[in-house]
Chain A
Amino acid sequence: MSALTIRNLTKTYANGVYALKGIDLQVEKGDFFALLGPNGAGKSTTIGVISSLVNKTAGEVSIFGHSLDTQRALAKMKIGVVPQEFNFNQFEKVFDIVVTQAGFYGIPVPLARERAEKYLRQLGLWEKRDKQSRTLSGGMKRRLMIARALVHEPELLILDEPTAGVDIELRRSMWDFLTRINGEGKTIILTTHYLEEAESLCRHIAIIDHGIIVENTDMKSLLEKLQVETFILDLARPVTEVPVLEGFEVWLKDSRTLEVAVPKSQSLNTLFVALAEQHFEVMSMRNKANRLEELFVRLVEQNLPGEQAS
């Protein structure tokens, strides 16, 4: 069964902006799915419709087979949403926020308190349970929103840029947490601007731009579409001229750094042989950008410009 099915979803805002122009999307149960796109592409609108915060103009959305039009309550029971912006009462205590959210799903207080403790502990917030939420750091607030979204134990967790503004260590620990709960069977849909994050975590990916899905496939197939990969090479000795390497595009970034575009048809061995023949000694090498990022930029650049939505 699909965790999420979207058919011909359109959204036109009152100001006339076409945010979604008939998108189709399917996310399978247990998947870790990335929804990517530049700012204003329609990601948040899509999530807004799925989570009932935005009224759709047309189309169908169903969650685990329950239509949002005809079985809204059943559908909502299955979803947990972690929004992009902090949206809890800043003056309420951490524990109360999570317990109250459970109450909105009809979970009795004793069970709600038990669940709140479980998820606050898992997310490292138990020690802060009696603090007002406004006193938490940005990373803690993000984790609080995850605990709140999980308290009714949804089967589908939707996270809208969950690691925005979070430091590297905390981001890694959030990745570990999300990977673990995905391994336990929870379906996860993630939007992010950190493409390294999507590449590390997600098995399937959709790219949305100007309100249309421009790519929807599994991560491996998508990365295979990358025709050219760009590398940065650090040289042992300074050079003054750009080396001519047949089959490769080369730029001299500074006297000790080369940037080389390697087509998919060429191997790295060929590149190194050519460099060695011209007496270039390479000390280290790295990708110029994350592979997914490179592909993402190309796909988005290919897409025609249009009106944008938030």
Chain B
Amino acid sequence: MSAREQWVAFLTIVTKEIRRFTRIWPQTLLPPAITMTLYFVIFGNLIGSRIGEMGGFNYMQYIVPGLIMMSVIQNSYGNVVSSFFSTKFQHSIEEMLVSPMPAHVILNGFIVGGMVRGMLVGLIVSLLSLFFTQLSMQHLLITITVVILTAALFALGGFINAIFANKFDDISIVPTFILTPLTYLGGVFYSIDLLPEFWRMVSLANPIVYMVNAFRYGVLGVSDVNVYASLGAILAFVVAFYLLALWLLQRGTGIRH
């Protein structure tokens, strides 16, 4: 396939993915908007007003960046894992496998589709947060870079999960037992500096801490960790996950006999 044909094929997958999640928007776009609004009302307004300041900001302002990142993470992951697994389950993956598309075009198409949903939900949540607080933007470039890398990383995670999944239960195990605990313990609702030293060190092993803090630094200008080291670590994970996903796809793991 020529580069131009590959570009058309890539856009076809991305368009298909966007068409899919916008067609079922009550399942994909509406729930995170409702959930995050509840977080803003309950944690930000009701409980937050009693907590007072955190990191020099009122509690609502402090948790908003973390909640935006939580939305990006969950939706990038959720989009790719459910879409690619459904494609496997309905055998419509065969439409792609019989075509001359190289594996990297298929992978890029699904990943970008997942990133678009993650970032779109992130944007919706950001706009909703403006009803509850004011957001400044301290470092625009870092904010955008963190969102893109995080969306890519979790879209890749969703893809790898879907490759190994054999039944629908398998696509909910990682989000339920790994992703959600790591996100809640990833400094979304608190500064890890508040933790005892032991638990603070344990928290540093949680990759989501770095994403949430790097994003918070972009928006509020404060972070519990070194932002540039965080960006480097996220980038390294993106590269490693991409190479793994591509290798699995080329081998046909979980999709070819």
Contacts and interface: CB of A to CB of B under 8 A. Distances in A.
Interface of A: 13-14, 48, 51-55, 72-74, 76-77, 79, 81, 83, 85-91, 96, 100-101, 103-109, 148, 152
Nearest to A158: B98
B95 A104 contact: yes
Contacts of B94: 51, 53, 81, 83, 87
Given A73-B1, A87-B90, A89-B92, A52 B97 contact: yes
Contact of B16 (A48, A100, A148, A152): A100
A22 to B, nearest CB: 18
Contacts of B256: 52-55
List the 10 shortest-distance A-B pairs measured between CB atoms, nearest first. Answer: A106-B5, A103-B12, A73-B100, A87-B91, A104-B99, A76-B100, A54-B257, A106-B8, A51-B98, A87-B94
B102 interface: yes
Nearest to B96: A104
B4 A106 contact: yes
Contacts, number: 86
Interface string B78-100: 00000000110011101111111
A72 B97 CA distance: 11
Contacts of A74: 100
The secondary-structure label for the interface of chain B is: helix
Interface extent on B, as a size class? Answer: 20 to 34
Residue among A81, A85, A105 with the highest chain B CB neighbour number at 10 A: A105
Interface string B5-24: 11111011101100100010
B55 to A, nearest CB: 45
30 contacts: A14-B257, A51-B94, A53-B98, A53-B257, A54-B256, A55-B257, A72-B100, A77-B100, A81-B94, A83-B91, A83-B94, A87-B90, A87-B95, A88-B92, A88-B95, A89-B87, A89-B90, A100-B12, A100-B16, A103-B12, A103-B13, A104-B9, A104-B13, A105-B9, A105-B99, A106-B1, A106-B6, A106-B8, A109-B8, A152-B99
Contacts of A53: 94, 97-98, 256-257
Interface of B: 1-2, 4-9, 11-13, 15-16, 19, 23, 86-87, 90-92, 94-102, 252, 256-257
Contacts of A14: 257
Contacts of A54: 256-257
Contacts of B98: 51-53, 76, 79, 81
A101 B95 contact: yes
Nearest to A310: B257
A148 B95 contact: yes
Residue among A77, A79, A106 with the highest chain B CB neighbour number at 10 A: A106
A162 to B, nearest CB: 16
A53 B96 CA distance: 10
Contact of B99 (A48, A76, A83, A89): A76
Given A88-B92, A103-B8, A103-B9, 16 more contacts: A13-B257, A52-B98, A55-B252, A72-B100, A77-B100, A81-B98, A83-B94, A85-B91, A87-B90, A87-B95, A89-B87, A100-B12, A100-B16, A106-B1, A106-B4, A106-B8
Contacts of B6: 106
B247 to A, nearest CB: 15
Contacts of B7: 106
Nearest to B92: A89
B102 A73 contact: yes
A21 B23 CA distance: 47
Contacts of A101: 95, 99
A309 to B, nearest CB: 10
Nearest to A99: B12
B180 to A, nearest CB: 28
Nearest to A111: B8
B25 to A, nearest CB: 14
A12 to B, nearest CB: 11
A105 B100 contact: yes
Nearest to A50: B98
A77 B2 CA distance: 12
A105 B90 CA distance: 21
B98 to A, nearest CB: 5
Contacts of A100: 12, 16, 95
Nearest to A79: B98
Given A52-B98, A55-B256, A76-B98, A103 B11 contact: yes
A100 B13 CA distance: 8
A90 B90 contact: yes
A270 B6 CA distance: 68
Contact of A96 (B5, B11, B19, B252): B19
Contact of B92 (A51, A87, A105): A87
A106 B2 contact: yes
A81 B12 CA distance: 20
A93 B12 CA distance: 15
Nearest to B86: A89
Contacts of A90: 90
B27 to A, nearest CB: 12
